A and B are shown apart, each in its own frame.
Chain A
């Protein structure tokens, strides 16, 4: 048992928590502004695919990262436009984007790389394994500062809590909401890029495998606050790291492997429990999900 808790487990936890932190902080900017973002999964897929494809085409991962950010922003902009301008149901729009982006990488890679849903392998020197981790780490205090210590953060929170009052105070509700959703596109885009050109060396079909949703879960578990959300991401990253390391190492007394499925469930079950109020109440921004109509 003891050989499990080593430096490699810590490192693996941090690596696995990085995309979650980026996605969750992205979700935070969108949801604190009052726009539900279950499109995080699709945005991450867009970022992951574009980053890998651009890096392959240009040979430079930094350009690839920018491409991933751009793709994330583009998808977020579609979400924002549908939800804010056309007042579409935010959950339905998010679902639509997730389905769209589930298919889009395969559609494009089938044409451009003649493969069924993956991009070509990238050489090791064209990967950025550490920078996104550092970015994720720095973004937590930065998000805290922006949210609680800047006029923009105040407006963002007010627009998510009481848009009518914010409007009366002269804040442009749509403008702030657009900004919030676009920032979520940038961050989730980086999170996706990290998966394809940081952790891995190519894009594979559906490579996020639910990380956008775990990020969302972490956001709720962290009560829509930056530091708590980061801690939730580390916890969820840790459970994933343990479930990977445990395979074939730790055995039950009967000699069987401990089923990984039970560890995989942990983030989701914890979120359900915290949402039900068993571990302190998790209260969403008051105007979350409601389109704002000027009186």
Chain B
């Protein structure tokens, strides 16, 4: 089966080559990358005059306490699961989607638009409508770079970056001029109808307070992981996306329309990114708030890479990053000098190390991940 992914992971001269096909082989580089990033981060904490052990203990402790730590960690992980899956699907199709940020903004606004416009509908009609708005808006905004690439050969990296800025401006315009409550100094829309609210998990779990914003969207995110897995590995479309990603020439020779796959992969990717809108608008703020995304789209790239572009990996990577975001807030408050910016710094270093994993393989090794990409 030449189109199988395993065709790419040819044996390498790595010190870990014995594991290169097993689970450990998949885990070893992400683990090394995370550890190395924490070591580098620790040195930096030392440089600014704090105790790294104390800092990390604070980071992990506040992220894993019950119920607040875990609740908020999973809440922060939810959008990252969606964006991680979005980047994953595009990546499996041989495309790098840097546009999840724009896709999730457009989708979040569309969700709020549906929730405001049809506010009087009952929950049974309104909720599906809002879901559809989130998924469709994300899919359309994601499909645009797919079409541009399929039709004109414009590289998706550039078009998605550009569309991010267009999305932010467009959504900002509609929020400011059409959907803001008159006199509201904050750039946010009016509230969505009560029927579109998604229940917080506190309602179902005893001892888990409802003030924690973790909501059913987290469950949807778990379901999305499963669906993405089934889609990519159990359906024809998914197979064709993966085939196009691993070897476009062979895929085309095998009768797959590469252009169609580009658009499909980007649309599915955008739809997944768009589901961030469900968590943000229907489960958390009940309105669109301009500038809500803390770089979720870009962090999604880190999540997908660290998660080895596999849904299960994405789930764990998103939880790790969720922990860092939660813990970062406490580090900011309870250390002398370390700010929550440590989280961005750690994330950046993690991606650098994952991307340059040849660093850990010795100078003579060839690399197997990330061979693609050309503008």
Contact = CB atoms under 8 A, between A and B. Distances in A.
Interface centre among A96, A210, A256, A272 (most CB of B within 10 A): A96
Contacts, number: 179
Given A111-B48, A210-B165, A96 B342 contact: no
A82 interface: yes
A290 B170 CA distance: 34
B375 interface: yes
A116 interface: yes
Interface string A262-295: 1011001101100111000000100011100000
A82 B348 CA distance: 13
Contacts of A96: 302, 348-352, 355
B157 A38 contact: yes
Contacts of B375: 31, 36, 284, 288-289
B149 to A, nearest CB: 10
Given A213-B161, A288-B375, A107 B355 contact: no
Interface string A125-157: 000000000000000000000000000000000
B169 A103 contact: no
Given A259-B176, A289-B373, A272 B96 contact: no
Contacts of B295: 99, 102
Contact of A268 (B163, B298, B302, B356): B163
A275 B154 contact: yes
A110 B176 CA distance: 33
Contacts of A54: none
A164 interface: no
A100 interface: yes
A35 B337 CA distance: 37
A261 B355 contact: no
| Secondary structure dominating the interface of B | helix
| Secondary structure dominating the interface of A | helix
B292 interface: no
Contact of A102 (B157, B159, B344, B350): B344
Given A99-B351, A100-B349, A276-B154, A107 B48 contact: yes
Interface residues of B, number: 56
Contacts of B347: 99-100, 103
A106 B169 contact: no
A275 B161 CA distance: 13
B49 interface: yes
Interface string A92-124: 110111111111111110111000110000000
A7 to B, nearest CB: 29
A103 B348 contact: yes
Interface string B84-100: 00000000000010100
A269 to B, nearest CB: 6
B152 A87 contact: no
Nearest to A36: B375
A90 B356 contact: no
Interface in B145-173: 148, 151-155, 157-159, 161-163, 165-166, 169-170, 172-173
Nearest to B145: A272
Given A93-B352, A101-B348, A275-B148, A220 B158 contact: yes
Contacts of B370: 88-89, 92
A91 interface: yes
B169 A261 contact: yes
Contact of B344 (A99, A112, A261): A99
Contact of A100 (B148, B162, B344): B344
A101 B345 CA distance: 7
A95 B49 CA distance: 28
A89 B87 CA distance: 15
Nearest to A268: B162
B359 interface: yes
Contacts of B49: 111
B341 A99 contact: no
A5 B155 CA distance: 36
A78 interface: yes
B345 A104 contact: yes
Contact of A97 (B154, B173, B341, B348): B348
Interface residues of A, number: 55
A100 to B, nearest CB: 3
A100 B348 contact: yes
Given A96-B351, A264-B165, A265-B166, A89 B337 contact: no
A271 B44 contact: no
A217 interface: yes
Given A91-B98, A276-B154, 4 more contacts: A92-B370, A100-B344, A103-B348, A269-B166
Interface of B: 44, 48-49, 96, 98, 148, 151-155, 157-159, 161-163, 165-166, 169-170, 172-173, 176-177, 295, 298-299, 301-302, 305, 337-339, 341-345, 347-352, 355-359, 367, 370, 372-375
30 contacts: A36-B375, A38-B98, A82-B352, A88-B352, A89-B370, A89-B373, A91-B98, A92-B351, A93-B352, A96-B348, A96-B350, A98-B348, A104-B344, A105-B341, A107-B48, A107-B345, A110-B337, A110-B339, A111-B48, A117-B339, A117-B341, A216-B158, A265-B165, A272-B148, A272-B154, A272-B159, A272-B166, A275-B148, A275-B159, A289-B373
Pairs of residues from A and B, 9 with the lowest C-beta to C-beta distance, nearest first = A103-B344, A100-B348, A111-B48, A106-B341, A110-B339, A96-B351, A89-B370, A261-B173, A86-B356
